A and B are shown apart, each in its own frame.
Chain A
Amino acid sequence: MSTAPVLNHREQNVIFRLGGESYGIDIFRVHEIIRLREITPIPGSEPHIRGLVNLRGKTIPVVDLRTKFGLPPAEDSDSTRIIVVESDRGNVGIVVDAVTEVVTVEPEQVDATPPLVANVTAEFVRGIAKQESQLITLLNLEQAIAA
């Protein structure tokens, strides 16, 4: 298993910051990136569901990855964004500290075994991409947003 490459081909990833680290999501999974807007909490729902937002007349659930990853809560700021991704149960938003860039990840840059630097549970991670200036945790999106 560990010898099989994580990526079979070059992939474009949207890079975002969360708790001081960089994460990447396959760009084909990203629907759009919106500014933080009023999120209506749903009392009684799963803790990692932060609530619902209005996306042009449709209500979309928003997941808080901090809760999910066990990170300490942070204040929302000007750079906070909601990345709307496509999941098998409809569109879902994820709140991130900031969206930084889009990078091309080559298969040979990706390490399957997550080094200890990542403070995220291994099941949410596809692999770690080593770029010149940074390490990017490539997210396993379905796992990361699932209950």
Chain B
Amino acid sequence: MAELDMSQYLDLFLQEADEQLEILEQETLKLEKDPTQERLQKIFRAAHTLKGSSRAMGFLTFAEVTHEMENLLDLLRGGQLAVTTEIADALLACVDTLTAIKAQIAEGRGDGYESSELVANLKRLASDSGQASPTAPQGADLDDLPAELVQKLAEKTKQGPILRARIRLAPDCLMKFVRAFMAINAVNEAGTLVATHPDGETLEEEKFGDTFELFFRSERPAEDWRKTFQAIGEVAEAVVGPWQPRGADAVQPREAERQAGGERSETLPSAKAAAAPAGRKADTGQTVRVDVARLDELMNLVGELVIDRTRVAQIGAVLAAKYDNEENVEALAETVSHIARITSDLQDQIMKARMLPIETVFNRFPRMVRDLANKVGKEIQLELVGGDTELDRSVIEAIGDPLLHILRNSVDHGIEPPEERARAGKAQTGRIVVAARHQENHIVIDIEDDGRGIDVARVKQKAIENGLVSPEAAERLTDKDALQFIFASGLSTAQQVSEVSGRGVGMDIVRSNIQKLGGIIDVESTPGKGTKFSLRLPLTLAIIRGLLVSVGGVVYVIPLGSVVETLLVRRKEVQTVHGREVILIRGVTTPLVRMGEALGITNRWERKSEEEFFVVIVGIAEQRIGLVVDKLIGEQEVVIKSLSGFVGDVPGVSGATILGDGNVALIADVNGIISCGRAA
């Protein structure tokens, strides 16, 4: 027997699970603060979708958890339960468990997972709804029956089972009572009406929303009745199931509804089922899923095209110089410029195709902040601004962890406990704002808190203890410079600092990760007022604009993102401080690093006694350093290629690229060069 190949469906399932789990988590977090019906509906739909697809795939543990979630959500939706922190916790625990199961499935280890505790907890929460005393909203929603009616029905059930029909009329139904009357007539024809909700008078006056319920006795199966009701004009939906007194199992009729609703949505285009997918379609628009690897390959190909474009342009220029006035040479020039334009557009489009909103990273934050804040007993309001700012997925993938790290520090150490804030005359609830925006060819992300700020004196002291700076030098440091020590590796691992002054845990790793991406991280802090981290990152890692310089006969590309300016410096402008060369730029002492010597290409004894030389001023956070180079060649867009694994890590080099003339150039790792220069 040919086995059905589930692997292609598995991919789809995993993708869908990713999406729906994300919705679940995001909406649940919002639900806690803002429990609207719409939001519950969204969560419910996500859980329901997951249940359906996991069942179809045979992942029964997954399906069981989503099923219990649904039950709980249904009670919330119906108002029998209120959204509490406990319930939100339980729902989030479901998300975690489902995510774990999903990961397990993705690894091909099936969906076997210990979830009985979670399921039991969900069941317990759901059964708590019996104790809650529901108050029926006047006229609008009929989820909760008046106590008298429940009592009456409970009495009647003793004489035999009662069916409950929930009938929803089309929203634009003009004669609601007529439709209700037709339904009641239908019941009277083949059964005995016990009660209606709302009562007959309210129905007659049409003082109800679009849903009413009939309670009746009948031998006919519920499904028959559903069809009967559905056949009545302007009935959007009918759900029929047995009714039992609340407390024993109030969930049942709604359970029946859901079962019916869920299954029917696949066969009958009922109004409800039609509405949901339509809404979703509008969200996604006309899209195609593309494998990321394919986009990467496309990007590579365009990268090579960009190289060739430059090459062809150069050959064209050479020919133009050689064969002036030649007709074909002119035509070539035109064609070349056209190709150049098309290539640029193509490159832009593919870059755009690889762009993702930074939301995909931001979405991880609310959960982390909520959980951590609860754990450490703080009240924190997290604001995310500019979630739609787009950047290349390579960058997206790489910045998540550094951002989380900074945010965790803000929650853990930056924001004070409520009492301390109250004492300081601040609002009890701390505020953290994460804001992203585009700035030229970069994305800037600020993480700002209104916490206690960083204790600079403490940082200085730690820096001295760790031998990073002498006490005298520390004395002279400005607060701004002293703050830079939080990025030093010695400080970051010292737990005491993180307890006393706030930040520090792993900030060196954060900075080195940001720098690896060609980014810059900066920090500002005002004691008592708060701390702000600013990240500046390139939009993409694949193509950069760079300044081409020549050093000892080797061409290096310095990423333009780190270049502040270029200068022609006269020999006599150079001064020496502690044996290090410095120059003054607009009054600021700027250390010089001889790039050739730092990289071991040349040595100081070979220094030519040139009268003037080129200096590229590069910026690392607030720091400015002048790189002495032999020649400035020009500015160019280059495609970054990683150094072969065969070559391994080379200090001062972050990659390679191919220039327009076909030669290979090295991409300078500015930080690496500077540390080499310091060590020299």
Q: Do A90 and B645 touch across chains, with their CB atoms under 8 A apart?
A: yes
Interface Cβ pair total, 8 Å cutoff = 79
Q: Do B656 and A43 touch across chains, with their CB atoms under 8 A apart?
A: no
Q: What range describes how many residues of B lie at the interface? A: 20 to 34
Task: Flag the segment in B355-363, B523-531, B661-669 that touches A.
Answer: B661-669
B624 within 8 A of A: no
The answer, among B303, B641, B651, for a CB contact under 8 Å with A44, is B651
B601 within 8 A of A: yes
B650 within 8 A of A: yes
In the bound complex, residues from chain B placing their C-beta under 8 Å from that of A92 are 644, 646
Q: Do B652 and A44 touch across chains, with their CB atoms under 8 A apart?
A: yes
Complex CA–CA separation, A68 to B664 (angstroms)? 23
A54 within 8 A of B: yes
0/1 interface trace, chain A 16-51, chain B, CB 8 Å (1 if under):
000000000000000000000010111111100101
Q: Do A45 and B641 touch across chains, with their CB atoms under 8 A apart?
A: no
Q: Do B648 and A147 touch across chains, with their CB atoms under 8 A apart?
A: yes
A40-B554, A52-B656, A53-B664 known; A45 vs B644 contact (CB < 8 Å): no
Q: Do A54 and B650 touch across chains, with their CB atoms under 8 A apart?
A: no
**Which B614-663 residues have C-beta < 8 A from chain A?**
641, 643-648, 650-653, 656-658, 662-663
A57 within 8 A of B: yes
B465 within 8 A of A: no
B313 within 8 A of A: no
Nearest residue in A to B672 (C-beta to C-beta)?
A: A44
Complex CA–CA separation, A42 to B650 (angstroms)? 8
The answer, among A44, A45, A49, A52, for a CB contact under 8 Å with B664, is A52
A60 within 8 A of B: yes
In the bound complex, residues from chain B placing their C-beta under 8 Å from that of A52 are 643-644, 647, 656, 664, 666
Nearest residue in A to B305 (C-beta to C-beta)?
A: A57
Least CB distance from A126 to B in Å reads 21
A58 within 8 A of B: yes
B491 within 8 A of A: no
Least CB distance from A95 to B in Å reads 15
Complex CA–CA separation, A43 to B676 (angstroms)? 12
Nearest residue in B to A56 (C-beta to C-beta)?
A: B304
In the bound complex, residues from chain A placing their C-beta under 8 Å from that of B663 are 38, 40, 54
Q: Do B645 and A57 touch across chains, with their CB atoms under 8 A apart?
A: no
A61 within 8 A of B: yes
In the bound complex, residues from chain B placing their C-beta under 8 Å from that of A46 are 647-648
Least CB distance from B203 to A in Å reads 77
A58-B641, A61-B647 known; A43 vs B652 contact (CB < 8 Å): yes
A40-B554, A92-B644 known; A57 vs B304 contact (CB < 8 Å): yes
Complex CA–CA separation, A15 to B554 (angstroms)? 33
0/1 interface trace, chain A 65-109, chain B, CB 8 Å (1 if under):
000000000000000000000010110100000000000000000
A59 within 8 A of B: yes
The answer, among B307, B554, B652, B658, for a CB contact under 8 Å with A41, is B554
In the bound complex, residues from chain A placing their C-beta under 8 Å from that of B308 are 57
Nearest residue in B to A63 (C-beta to C-beta)?
A: B646
Least CB distance from A113 to B in Å reads 30
B555 within 8 A of A: yes
Complex CA–CA separation, A46 to B646 (angstroms)? 10
Residues of chain A at interface, number, CB under 8 A: 24
In the bound complex, residues from chain B placing their C-beta under 8 Å from that of A45 are 647-648, 650
Q: Do A61 and B555 touch across chains, with their CB atoms under 8 A apart?
A: no
In the bound complex, residues from chain A placing their C-beta under 8 Å from that of B554 are 40-41, 43
Q: Do B662 and A54 touch across chains, with their CB atoms under 8 A apart?
A: yes
Nearest residue in A to B555 (C-beta to C-beta)?
A: A40
Nearest residue in B to A49 (C-beta to C-beta)?
A: B647
Interface centre among A44, A45, A87 (most CB of B within 10 A): A44
In the bound complex, residues from chain B placing their C-beta under 8 Å from that of A57 are 303-304, 307-308, 658
Q: Do A89 and B645 touch across chains, with their CB atoms under 8 A apart?
A: yes
Nearest residue in B to A51 (C-beta to C-beta)?
A: B664
Nearest residue in A to B658 (C-beta to C-beta)?
A: A54
In the bound complex, residues from chain A placing their C-beta under 8 Å from that of B658 are 54, 57, 59
B599 within 8 A of A: yes
**Which B296-318 residues have C-beta < 8 A from chain A?**
303-304, 307-308
A40-B665, A43-B554 known; A61 vs B600 contact (CB < 8 Å): no
In the bound complex, residues from chain A placing their C-beta under 8 Å from that of B665 are 40
Complex CA–CA separation, A53 to B657 (angstroms)? 10
Q: Do A40 and B644 touch across chains, with their CB atoms under 8 A apart?
A: no
Least CB distance from B522 to A in Å reads 28
B552 within 8 A of A: yes
Q: Do B645 and A42 touch across chains, with their CB atoms under 8 A apart?
A: no
Complex CA–CA separation, A60 to B642 (angstroms)? 10
**Which A104-138 residues have C-beta < 8 A from chain B?**
none
Nearest residue in B to A41 (C-beta to C-beta)?
A: B554
Least CB distance from A89 to B in Å reads 4
Complex CA–CA separation, A147 to B664 (angstroms)? 22
A42-B650, A42-B666, A44-B652 known; A61 vs B644 contact (CB < 8 Å): yes
Q: Do B664 and A54 touch across chains, with their CB atoms under 8 A apart?
A: yes
A38-B663, A53-B664, A54-B662 known; A43 vs B601 contact (CB < 8 Å): yes
Least CB distance from A141 to B in Å reads 13
In the bound complex, residues from chain B placing their C-beta under 8 Å from that of A89 are 644-646
Complex CA–CA separation, A44 to B304 (angstroms)? 27
A43-B600, A52-B664, A87-B646 known; A59 vs B641 contact (CB < 8 Å): yes
Nearest residue in A to B661 (C-beta to C-beta)?
A: A38
A54-B658, A57-B304 known; A42 vs B647 contact (CB < 8 Å): yes
Complex CA–CA separation, A147 to B646 (angstroms)? 9
Complex CA–CA separation, A59 to B655 (angstroms)? 10
20 contacts between A and B (CB under 8 A): A38-B663, A40-B664, A42-B653, A42-B666, A43-B599, A43-B601, A43-B650, A43-B652, A44-B600, A44-B653, A44-B676, A45-B647, A49-B646, A51-B664, A52-B644, A54-B663, A54-B664, A58-B641, A59-B657, A61-B644
Residues of chain A having any CB pair with chain B under 8 Å:
38, 40-46, 49, 51-54, 57-61, 87, 89-90, 92, 145, 147
Q: A40-B664, A89-B644 are in contact. List 12 more A-B contacts (CB 8 A).
A: A38-B662, A38-B663, A40-B554, A42-B647, A43-B554, A43-B599, A44-B650, A52-B666, A57-B307, A58-B641, A59-B644, A92-B646
Residues of chain B having any CB pair with chain A under 8 Å:
303-304, 307-308, 552, 554-555, 599-601, 641, 643-648, 650-653, 656-658, 662-666, 676
- Please provide the 7 A-B residue pairs with the shortest distance between their CB atoms, ordered closest to farther: A40-B664, A57-B304, A89-B645, A52-B664, A89-B646, A43-B599, A59-B656
